[in-house]
Amino acid sequence: MKVYSAEFLTGAVSAKQYPKVSHPEFAFAGQSNVGKSSLLKSLLNRKKLVRTSSTPGKTQEINFFEINEKLIFTDLPGYGFARVPASVQRKWQSMIEQYVLKRKSLTALIFIVDLRRDPTQLDLELKHWLDANAIRYILVATKSDKLSAGERSKQVRKIKQAFCTEEDSDKLVVYSSKNNLGRKELWSQITKLANQQNALTNAEENQER
Ligand code: GTP
Ligand code: MG
C-alpha cells in the first residue's frame, strides 16, 4: 500500500493565517471523537500525523497538511464536544464557518459521521447549512468494523435516509480506519473532485492570460 507524504504546513484560527496554496483542498469535518484523525491516517497509510491530539476536543485549530505536493488536507476541530463550554463552541463554529465559506481552494468537505449512531442533531444542522450554502461534501460513515453485517446495512439505510436523495445515494462511503474498508472508494471520489478542480483552475488561468 502506498504511503503518502503529509507535510504539516500550519495551524490557523483566522483567515489571515491560512497558507497560500494552489492545490485542491479537502477539509475533514465531523463531531468530536468521530474518527477524523484516524481516517486521515488511514487514507494516508501513516501511523502518525503531527498535530493530531489524543485528547478529545483538544484540536482547536484548523491544521493544514500538504499531501504528496498535490493536495491539501485540513483537519478541522470536531464539533459538539460535551465538555467544552458554550462560548468556546461558538468560537469554533464561527472559525469553521468562516473557513468553509471563504476558503477559495476548498474543493469539498469530507463529512464524517459514526456509522453506529443515528444522525445527530448537530450532523443534520451541518448538512442543512452545507446544502444551503452550496458547499460540496463527500459523506463518510466510519467505524464500520464495530458493527455486524446486519447492523451495518440497517445503519446505512438510516444514514442514507437522513442525508441522501435517491439520485445521490451512492455518495455515502462506508469506512473503517481499522481495516481500511472504503479507502479505495474514498480516494477515487477525492481524486475525481481534485481533477475537476484542477481543470477549472487551469481554464481560469488561461482566460486571464
Ligand atoms: P477529535 O479530534 O478529538 O475530535 O477526535 P477525532 O474525530 O479525530 O477522532 P479520532 O480519530 O481521534 O478517534 C477517536 C477514537 O475512535 C479513537 O480511540 C480511535 O482509535 C477510534 N476509531 C476511529 N476510527 C475508528 C474505526 O474506523 N474503527 C475503530 N474500531 N475505531 C476507530
Ligand atoms: Mg482529531
The pLDDT value recorded for residue 205 is: 84
Expressed in angstroms and rounded, the spacing between residue 56 Cα and the centre of ligand 2 is 7
In angstroms, the CA 189 to CA 191 distance is 6
- pTM for this entry: 0.92
Which residue owns the Cα nearest ligand 1 atom 9? 35
Alpha carbon of 55 to ligand 2 centroid (Å)? 8
- Which residues surround ligand 1 with Cβ inside 6 Å? 30, 32-38, 56-57, 59, 78, 142-143, 145-146, 176-178
CA atoms of 141 and 26, how far apart (whole Å): 17
For 51-61, what is each residue's pLDDT tens digit? 655 555 555 78
* pLDDT confidence of residue 167: 77
Protein residue closest via CA to atom 31 of ligand 1: 143
pLDDT of the residue at 201: 85
Q: What is the mean pLDDT of the chain?
A: 89
**Where does the pLDDT of residue 83 fall: very low under 50, low under 70, confident under 90, or very high at 90 and above?**
low
pLDDT digits (tens, 9 = 90+) for 61-77: 899 999 999 999 999 88
Check pLDDT > 70 for residue 198: yes
pLDDT exceeds cutoff 70 at 165: yes
What is the model's pLDDT at position 2?
A: 80
Residue 71 phi, psi dihedral angles, 5° rounding: -135, 160
- Model confidence at 49, in pLDDT bands (50, 70, 90)? confident
Cell readout for 22 is: 494552489
The protein residue whose alpha carbon is closest to atom 20 in ligand 1 is: 38
Taking the centre of ligand 1 as the mean of its atom positions, its distance from the CA of residue 180, in whole angstroms, is 13
Q: Exposure string (b/e) for 155-194, b if CB count within 10 Å is 16 or more?
A: bbeebbeebeeeeeeeebbbbbbeeebbbebbeebbeebb
Q: Ligand 2: distance of its center to the CA of 167 in Å?
A: 32
- The residues pairing with 72 across neighbouring beta strands, listed in sequence order, are 25, 66
Residue located nearest, by CA, to atom 13 of ligand 1: 35
pLDDT greater than 80 at residue 102 = yes
Query: What is the tens place of the pLDDT at every residue in 128-141?
Result: 999 999 999 999 99
